[in-house]
Chains A and B, each alone.
Chain A
Amino acid sequence: MATTRPPRVMDPFAREFWEYTQNKELRLQQCSECQKLRWPAAAVCDKCLSPDYTWEQVSGKGQVLSWIVFHRQYFPEYPAPHPAVAVELAEGPIFVCCMPDEFQGSDLADALPMELDWLESEDRFGTYNLPVFKPAGK
């Protein structure tokens, strides 16, 4: 059962990113010329301005860089307390997300290994799977 969430920021490149989540694949654009991985999706490589890219699947492994816990509710879909975490992916980019509901801010620590998970989701653009991270092995 898909959960309704605040809407995604959508553009042609984001649309390609989210298409891959239908199959629970976390893929980031990789520049075909200089190989830089970029996130979020964009028209060209910010390092060499090449418009050519492939969608590279990342390992789904990372570690905690920082986190916060919202004690004020900003979205009805996310009642407080609501943790948000910045995960440094094994491949380099930083991925900011929430965690599955059963995890709290108190479960996190600096450099804690994290792994990818998926939450069935829906917004005005349709149904999709939201990539999130949780403490590895939990």
Chain B
Amino acid sequence: MANRVVEHDRLKKLKDTVAVVGVGESDYVGDYRSGAKGNAAEKGSGALNSYQLAATALKRALDDAGLTKDDIDGLVVGGPMSTERTCEVLGINASWCVSGDAPRGIIAAVQAINAGLCHTVALVYGNAQRSMNTQYGGPQAMGGDGILSYVYYAPWGMTSQGGLYSMMFRRHQLVYGTTEEQLGAVSVAFRKHASMNPNAIMKERFTIEDYMNSRYISEPFHLFDYCLINDGGVAFIIQRRDMANGKQIPINISGIGWSEMDIDSTQLRPRLKDFYLPAHHAVREQVYPMAGYGPKDVDVYATYDSFSTHLLFSLEGFGFCEPGEGGAFIQDGRIEIGGEIPCNTSGGMLSESYMQSWNHQPELVRQLRHQYAGTEREVKGAEVGQYVHDVAGKCLSVIYTRGN
């Protein structure tokens, strides 16, 4: 295995050079409940378009930042949209433009801004995945062109991404004795957070008993271990820190890190033998020293959560607890607002909206701005926020801090 890059001196030069100055999201609830009598819209209705959702989010992010689209000189495009069509629809001739998910986009944009290729980057995502009936399992499983294990085992009847994460959790159960009841704490907590969030799609709280009584999808995973499938758009604006206009409290990007485990990934070795922890450890060695903080300093936390287990594994991987202790660690309200380490305080992809890493970023920014002050959703006095991303062993992290 190649040596992991740990260039603390170079990373530290980038600390706080770039800040998030605006965030925006589409109306997740309104778009989801557009079916008859306020029910969920039919999958495959074709009612919404990814570019339309992205444009809605971008307009809101620009308004939030006090900027106009003419201030944007760089673009990161996420979801199923093409860079050309996105720039065309939004009317932007960019100086710099790439495709990527939210953390890849942030890390790339920090580099591009520091290199002087652009000053003000809009990161935009739109995904009409419900309207388009996008499939994440079965014969047309999405993402199989990028991650072979999503489709390779089709002849044996195994394709779903949930199946792969469920298999990873079963291994954790076998090695450490973790129980389904322990895991249930994740979806119960995220749903509780969603119940405080007007823009969350699933707001009805449930108990551990409800979780245990919910049907299995891929045993040991229950229904509530799975994220939603819905349409939506997210955008945020990041800018060279010294150019921020001061309309919003700038939220600094203080730490970044990236490490992947792709060797033997299709045969699931890093997933089942290592739980991807070496990748998490490598990112820890970048993101924490760069930011000058450690896990104990993180006030509000968000993890990619297409499945509940992402939280369990990332808390172990980033040192909030030891490997194997995750099941016990997430109990007793520790991961809830008001607890030791509030996680996915918007409800995340399990309960707010499945925006594939994008909706976590505005939530951390708003928490660090203290935008929820005085409401039950507030993480009081939050100064340091962390996002951890791990999709099939592609592990990235961003630490945000409240600027002055």
Contact = CB atoms under 8 A, between A and B. Distances in A.
Interface stretch (B37-45, B80-88, B121-129, B217-225): B217-225
B324 interface: no
A30 to B, nearest CB: 15
Given A65-B171, A70-B157, A74-B160, A40 B217 contact: no
Interface string B129-171: 0000000011100000000110111111111100100111011
Nearest to A75: B157
Interface in A51-86: 65-72, 74-75, 77-78, 81-82, 84, 86
Contacts of B139: 6-7, 75
B148 A9 contact: yes
Contacts of A97: 153, 156
Contacts of B267: 39-40, 93-96
A86 B272 CA distance: 9
A84 B215 CA distance: 18
A6 B170 contact: no
B178 to A, nearest CB: 13
A132 interface: yes
Contact of A84 (B163, B217, B221): B163
Contact of B148 (A6, A40, A93): A40
Contacts of A67: 167, 170
A31 interface: no
Interface string A87-102: 0000001111110000
Instruction: Pick from B139, B163, B167, B267 the residue with the most CB of A within 10 Å.
Output: B267
13 contacts: A8-B154, A9-B148, A40-B267, A68-B221, A69-B219, A70-B163, A72-B218, A74-B157, A84-B167, A93-B267, A94-B272, A97-B156, A121-B155
Contacts of A132: 156
Nearest to B149: A96
Given A68-B220, A71-B219, 11 more contacts: A5-B156, A6-B155, A7-B139, A68-B167, A71-B218, A72-B217, A74-B157, A84-B153, A86-B268, A94-B269, A96-B267
Contacts of B218: 68-72
B217 A71 contact: yes
Interface of A: 5-9, 39-40, 46, 65-72, 74-75, 77-78, 81-82, 84, 86, 93-98, 105, 110, 121, 123, 130, 132
Given A40-B266, A67-B167, A110 B219 contact: no
A121 B157 CA distance: 13
A98 B158 contact: yes
A50 to B, nearest CB: 16
A68 B159 contact: no
Given A9-B154, A65-B171, A96 B268 contact: yes
A81 B163 CA distance: 13
Interface in B68-96: none
A42 B77 CA distance: 31
B174 interface: yes
A13 to B, nearest CB: 13
B167 A9 contact: no
Given A46-B263, A71-B216, A96 B156 contact: yes
A66 B216 contact: no
Contacts of B221: 68
A88 to B, nearest CB: 9
A110 B221 CA distance: 18
Contacts of A46: 263-264
Contacts of B160: 70, 74
A105 B220 CA distance: 11
Nearest to A42: B266
B220 A71 contact: no
B153 A71 contact: no
A66 B272 contact: yes
A69 B220 CA distance: 8
A99 to B, nearest CB: 9
Contacts of A7: 139, 154-155
B215 A94 contact: no
Nearest to B163: A68
B154 A86 contact: no
Closest 9 CB pairs of A and B: A78-B157, A6-B154, A84-B158, A66-B171, A71-B216, A69-B219, A74-B138, A110-B174, A98-B156
Interface string B257-287: 0000001101111001100000000000000
Contacts of A39: 266-267
A74 B170 contact: no
A98 B157 contact: yes
B219 A86 contact: no
Nearest to A82: B157
Contacts of A81: 219
A70 B154 CA distance: 13
Nearest to A121: B155
